[in-house]
């Protein structure tokens, strides 16, 4: 069998709890194809490029096999790929940079499963399935927690006894691949060096903000899990631990976990809707309050992050809401006008890259999320460093 050359494509796999997103990039990191196997374990569908069909996907192994069959039908057999690269949600304290998948690094990812029980097992399933189907294919992993490894100990440590924190109870932060992509792409889109003090918002169904100093994370709103921080699509964000303990005593641990992670946030506040587009079109008081809550807490947390930066030179928005919801950006930027931020409202309504006026003391930008491209870039860089 011939070995794929340097122009061979790169497969990026992003396995979630009920879906597997994938993308194919060429050697110059241009996106050739993308798709998703969705609804795994239920009413499932497979989308490869523009072609979508309902399929039976009882588990993640079947879903990945269906993706590979779909790619082969597009003249992209797995034997022709140069490498596969995976998004892994949790790398713990040890896996803080992209890695090549070996027996040792696979074990390290498995050891992080208690920190991400709903995610890491599915990442491992994708890794193992590809290894079985294409044992000679080099595989790499990038970690959602990795970008935040630069946060100082005072930011990552909960005020708990050291015997408890030794069990991995600390703040890790998430959306790291998105923030790393933003740092990489922003100078290209802005035409200027990366600002020293950057406040970044990842606004989607999951929501976080990050204080970035000279390209490195120094503070972020998500903590031990993605539940902490801002108001999200279905997650509460910050909530007093004693309130959680009361819910657990009265309703049980599993019911409380479901409530906090999947029935709260925008969905809980609005009475059932977590889609920001629907909320912005809705005229009920509950929907309006959900939007207000989302923006208020984004601004409230921004103040703390700006304090860690000792000022702010620029703000950046990414993620589905951050890139497309002009009313949300407007409300958040109005809440930060005290920084000297002056908004170009026409640019904001048009989802333009630059959102500030020439008189503004602080720049504001939309930076498109390119997580899959970042994962491919990580893998490519590692392979080049290996001399392959």
Is 205 annotated as a binding-site member?
yes
**331: exposed, middle or buried (Cβ count in 10 Å: 0-12, 13-18, 19+):** middle
Say how far apart CA 311 and CA 344 lie, in whole Å. Answer: 21
Is 372 annotated as a binding-site member?
no
The candidate with the shortest Cα–Cα distance to 174, out of 221, 211, 218, is: 221
Is 371 annotated as a binding-site member?
yes
Query: What sign does the CA torsion over 236, 117, 137, 58 have?
Result: negative
Is 387 annotated as a binding-site member?
no
Say how far apart CA 117 and CA 92 lie, in whole Å. Answer: 12
Is 177 annotated as a binding-site member?
no
Is 1 annotated as a binding-site member?
no
Looking up tokens 């479901």 gives 258
Is 345 annotated as a binding-site member?
no
H or E element in which residue 345 lies:
helix 345-349
Q: Which of 56, 144, 238, 378 is catalytic?
A: 144
Q: Determine contact, residues 22/31, Cβ cutoff 8 Å.
A: no
Say how far apart CA 11 and CA 15 lie, in whole Å. Answer: 13
Is 311 annotated as a binding-site member?
no
Q: Determine contact, residues 38/15, Cβ cutoff 8 Å.
A: no
144 is catalytic: yes
Is 275 annotated as a binding-site member?
yes
Question: What single string gives the DSSP state of each residue in 108-162?
Answer: HHHHTGGGSTTTHHHHHHHHHHHHHH-TTSEEEEEETTGGGGGS-HHHH--SS-H
Is 250 annotated as a binding-site member?
no
Is 60 annotated as a binding-site member?
no
Is 301 annotated as a binding-site member?
no
Is 87 annotated as a binding-site member?
yes
φ, ψ of residue 263 to 5 degrees: the values are -125, 10
Question: What single string gives the DSSP state of each residue in 171-184?
Answer: -----HHHHHHHHH
Is 322 annotated as a binding-site member?
yes
Q: Which residues are CB-neighbours of 94 under 8 A, at least 6 positions away? A: 108
User: Residue 271 is encoded by which pair of tokens?
Assistant: 């009475």
Q: Which residues are CB-neighbours of 104 under 8 A, at least 6 positions away? A: none
Is 191 annotated as a binding-site member?
no
Is 203 annotated as a binding-site member?
yes
The candidate with the shortest Cα–Cα distance to 122, out of 133, 131, 110, is: 110
Is 14 annotated as a binding-site member?
yes
Residue numbers in the known binding site for Mg(2+) are 14, 371
Please identify every residue annotated as catalytic. 144
Task: Mark the binding-site residues for ATP, compressed into ranges.
Answer: 21, 202-206, 275-277, 320-324
Numbered residues of the known binding site: 14, 21, 87, 202-206, 275-277, 320-324, 371
Please give the annotated binding residues for substrate, written as ranges. Answer: 87
């Amino acid at each position: 069998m011939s070995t794929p050359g340097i122009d061979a494509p790169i497969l990026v796999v992003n396995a979630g709890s009920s879906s597997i997103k994938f993308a194919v990039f060429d050697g110059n990191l241009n996106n050739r194809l993308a798709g998703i196997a969705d609804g795994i374990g239920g009413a499932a569908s497979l989308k490869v490029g523009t072609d979508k069909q309902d399929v039976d996907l009882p588990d993640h192994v079947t879903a990945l096999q269906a993706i590979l069959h779909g790619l082969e039908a597009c003249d992209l057999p797995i034997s022709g790929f140069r490498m596969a690269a995976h998004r892994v949600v949790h790398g713990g304290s040890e896996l803080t940079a992209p890695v090549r998948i070996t027996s040792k690094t696979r074990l390290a990812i498995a050891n992080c499963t208690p920190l991400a029980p709903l995610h890491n097992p599915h990442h491992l399933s994708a890794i193992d399935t590809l290894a079985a189907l294409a044992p000679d294919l080099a595989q790499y992993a990038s970690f959602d927690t990795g970008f935040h490894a630069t946060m100082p100990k005072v930011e990552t440590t909960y005020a708990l006894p050291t015997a408890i924190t030794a069990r991995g109870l600390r703040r890790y932060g998430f959306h790291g691949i998105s923030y790393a992509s933003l740092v990489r792409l922003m100078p290209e889109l802005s035409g200027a060096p990366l600002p020293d003090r950057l406040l970044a918002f990842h606004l989607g169904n999951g929501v976080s903000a990050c204080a970035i100093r000279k390209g490195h994370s120094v503070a972020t709103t998500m903590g031990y899990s993605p539940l902490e921080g801002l108001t999200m699509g279905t997650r509460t964000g910050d909530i007093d631990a004693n309130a959680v303990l009361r819910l657990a005593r009265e309703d049980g641990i599993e019911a409380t976990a479901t409530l906090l992670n999947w029935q709260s946030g925008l969905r809980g506040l609005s009475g059932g809707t977590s889609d920001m587009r629907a909320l912005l079109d809705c005229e009920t008081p509950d929907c309006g309050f959900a939007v207000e809550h989302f923006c208020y807490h984004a601004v409230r947390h921004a103040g703390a992050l700006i304090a860690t930066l000792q000022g702010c030179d620029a703000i950046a928005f990414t993620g589905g809401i951050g890139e497309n919801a002009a009313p949300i950006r407007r409300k958040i930027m109005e809440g930060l006008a005290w920084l000297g931020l002056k908004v170009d409202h026409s640019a904001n309504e048009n989802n333009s890259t630059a959102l500030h006026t020439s008189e503004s003391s602080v720049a504001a930008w939309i930076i498109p999320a390119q997580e899959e491209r970042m994962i491919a870039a990580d893998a490519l860089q590692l392979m080049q460093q290996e001399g392959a």
